[in-house]
Every structure is written in C-alpha cells, then in structure tokens.
C-alpha cells in the first residue's frame, strides 16, 4: 500500500495541468505547513522565527517546468533578490537552487551564466549556495556544471542521492574538489536500471556515502528524517573523532520540529530546508510521496478556517 501511495503522488507531481491549477489557487490544502510563503519577503518572518529557535536554514525558490529563457532570467533575478534580502535582514541562511529553473533543459551556457550571476552576488554577501539534485537524467549535467563552477567559486555545493547506484563513485570523483555536499536518499521515481528499489539498500548506500565523505575530511550535510541514519552518523563521528564542525543535519520545514530542537540541544548543527514560492505543487506532491502520513496535512488544510 505504501509503495502504491508513493507511486501515485510521484505521478501527480509530474502533472503539468495540476501544477498550473495549483499556481492559480495559491498555497492551500495544507501546503503552507511545509512551504514558507508565496514569495521570499513573506518567508522572512518564518526564517527569523527558526533562527531564534537556534535553527539555521537553507531556502529554495520552488520551480518546475521552466521552459523559456526569459523565465530563467526572472528566476535568476529573484534568487539574487533572495540573497540580498538574506544579507539585509541578517538571516542565518543559505540558499538552494534547481538548475532546471535556471535553464538546464534549454541551454548549458545559459544555466552556467545564470549561476555565475547568482554566485557572484552570493560571494559578495557571504551566502553559501547549494545546487539541488533533480532526477537521474539530469544528474551528470548537474555535476558537470558544479565542477565548472567550483573551479571559480568556493561558496557552492551540491547534492548526492543514495538511491542511485553511481553515488559512491560520484563522491570519490568529487573528493579532490573538497566539496561541501548534502547527502540525501532521493525523492524521484527512478527505474531499477539506475537506482536501488528497496529501502534497505538505499539506507545502506547512504551510510557508506556518509562514511566516505566524512573520512575524506569534507563538509557533510546529512539530510534525513530517519533516526537510524541520524544515530549512525553520531556514532561514526564519535568513534572516528570527527569534529561536529565538519557536518550538520538537515530536515524539511514543518516536519519533525521537535527532533530538530533536540539535535540543537545536543550541540549538533541543524539546518531547516525552507521552500517558498507559488510553484509549490511538484515539491508538495513529492513530500506526500515520501511519507504517507503527510497526507494528513492536506486534510487539515481543507477544513482549516
């Protein structure tokens, strides 16, 4: 039943008609429980509240199905505004970007130049930028662009997904760049040709990735809500004398808040992933796919006054 639920919501996440409808009607049906706001300015109070609780953040301007050059330039300008606002409001926040929103599916040089503009502004304000990883078909292009940008900028990292067979090799390939990586399980539906299908295999690969990247001495963000993975990381770091300055935990906004606060009390760095924007539909559907219990958010949203 859980697999059917996951597949159903992943199918819905790719429906362009429903995405357009979601944009039209705004953040309803529970989405505000996992999305910071309709735009970044309205998300600032959410970040300030999290910062006061001892939680740092990374923010993501949500975007799916970008297919025009003009829209990629708009997205770039909006991202630059976000970075400037982070600095102006003195927020303890980084930012995350999806390359498809900046032109990855249109032209390689276009997305590269858009990212250069973003990273130049981020460098000016000392803001770190993570390139989010999308589905497997875009993985190699994303890593190629990351490598090119890393040769010019120190304030950029990316994401490696443990459900892909290739991921441990990718970490080994990237290690000479001394990369800051976010390690995740992965939230897209992939075939058995490229990805593990069983949770136990995805978890095993994630643990190996955590070990490899920490052992390499590179900064590691462990993005998980899984207590098993959290406890594994704590134990591995302690047994191998790995400083807590070398890693952090990351979780999604609106989920497992109490666990986030408990990690802060234990002197671990805890970063909250806060998405924002009216293009929230694909992200929200993937969150429902990851954990069927999240469907309760929808029901509450329907009946909330």
pLDDT tier at 21, thresholds 50, 70, 90: low
Distance CA 106, CA 99 (A): 10
Residue 278, helix vs strand vs coil: coil
In this structure, what CATH number is given to the domain that contains residue 259? 3.20.20.220
In terms of residue numbers, what domain contains 176?
36-279
Q: How far apart are CA 285 and CA 291, in angstroms?
A: 10
Strands (E), the chain: 56-61, 93-97, 129-131, 156-161, 181-184, 220-223, 247-252, 270-276
C-alpha separations of 289 from 48, 283, 304 in Å: 29, 10, 23
Domain count, the chain: 1
H or E element that contains 13: helix 2-13
Confirm whether 5 is domain-assigned. no
Q: What are 145's two structure tokens? A: 């662009």
Answer yes or no: is 84 within a domain: yes
- Give the residue-averaged pLDDT of 212-239: 97
Mean per-residue pLDDT, 173-188: 94
Q: Is 286 domain-assigned?
A: no
DSSP 3-state of 158: strand
- What is the pLDDT at residue 299? 46
Q: Quick check: is 182 catalytic?
A: yes
Q: Positive or negative, the Cα torsion across 78, 79, 84, 87?
A: positive
Given the residues 105, 132, 135, 279, select the one marked as catalytic. 132
Tell me the C-alpha distance between 61 and 96, whole Å. Answer: 8
Please give the backbone phi and psi of residue 164, each rounded to the nearest 5 degrees, phi first.
Answer: -90, 135
Can you give the pTM of this predicted structure?
Answer: 0.87
Identify whether 111 is part of a domain.
Answer: yes
Q: Does residue 301 surpass a pLDDT of 50?
A: no
Q: What is the pLDDT of residues 122-171, one digit of tens each?
A: 999 999 999 999 999 999 999 999 999 999 999 999 999 999 999 999 99
pLDDT digits (tens, 9 = 90+) for 99-135: 999 999 999 999 999 999 999 999 999 999 999 999 9
Structure tokens at 264: 């802060």
**Among all chains, which residue has been given the structure tokens 């998405």?**
275
Band (10; pLDDT cuts 50, 70, 90): low
* pLDDT > 90 fraction of the chain, expressed in percent and rounded: 72
Q: Catalytic: which of 6, 75, 182, 287?
A: 182
Domain assignment present for residue 263? The answer is: yes
Please tell me which residue, 90 or 299, carries the higher pLDDT value.
90
């Amino acid at each position: 039943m859980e697999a059917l639920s996951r597949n159903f919501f992943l199918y819905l996440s790719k429906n362009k008609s429903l995405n357009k409808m979601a944009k039209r009607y705004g953040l309803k049906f529970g989405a505000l429980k996992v999305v910071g706001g309709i735009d970044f300015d309205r998300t600032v109070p959410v970040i300030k509240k999290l910062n006061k609780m001892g939680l740092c953040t990374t923010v993501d301007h949500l975007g799916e199905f970008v297919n025009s050059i003009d829209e990629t330039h708009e997205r770039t300008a909006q991202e630059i505004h976000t970075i400037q606002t982070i600095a102006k409001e003195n927020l303890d926040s980084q930012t995350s970007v999806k390359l498809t929103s900046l032109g990855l599916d249109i032209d390689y040089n276009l997305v590269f130049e858009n990212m250069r503009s973003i990273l130049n502004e981020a460098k000016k304000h000392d803001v770190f930028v993570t390139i989010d990883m999308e589905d497997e078909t875009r993985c190699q292009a994303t890593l190629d662009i990351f490598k090119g940008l890393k040769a010019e900028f120190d304030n950029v990292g990316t994401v490696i997904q443990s459900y892909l067979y290739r991921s441990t090799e990718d970490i080994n390939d990237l290690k000479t760049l001394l990369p800051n990586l976010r390690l995740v399980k992965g939230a897209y539906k992939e075939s058995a040709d490229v990805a593990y299908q069983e949770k136990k295999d995805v978890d095993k690969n994630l643990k190996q990735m955590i070990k490899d990247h920490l052992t390499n001495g590179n900064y590691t963000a462990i993005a998980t809500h899984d207590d098993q993975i959290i406890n594994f990381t704590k134990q591995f770091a302690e047994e191998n004398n790995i400083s807590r300055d070398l890693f952090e935990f990351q979780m999604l906004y609106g989920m497992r808040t109490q666990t986030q606060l408990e990690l802060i009390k234990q002197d671990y760095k805890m970063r909250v992933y806060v998405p924002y924007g009216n293009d929230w539909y694909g992200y929200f559907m993937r969150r429902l796919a990851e954990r069927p219990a999240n469907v309760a958010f929808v029901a509450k949203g329907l009946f909330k006054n």
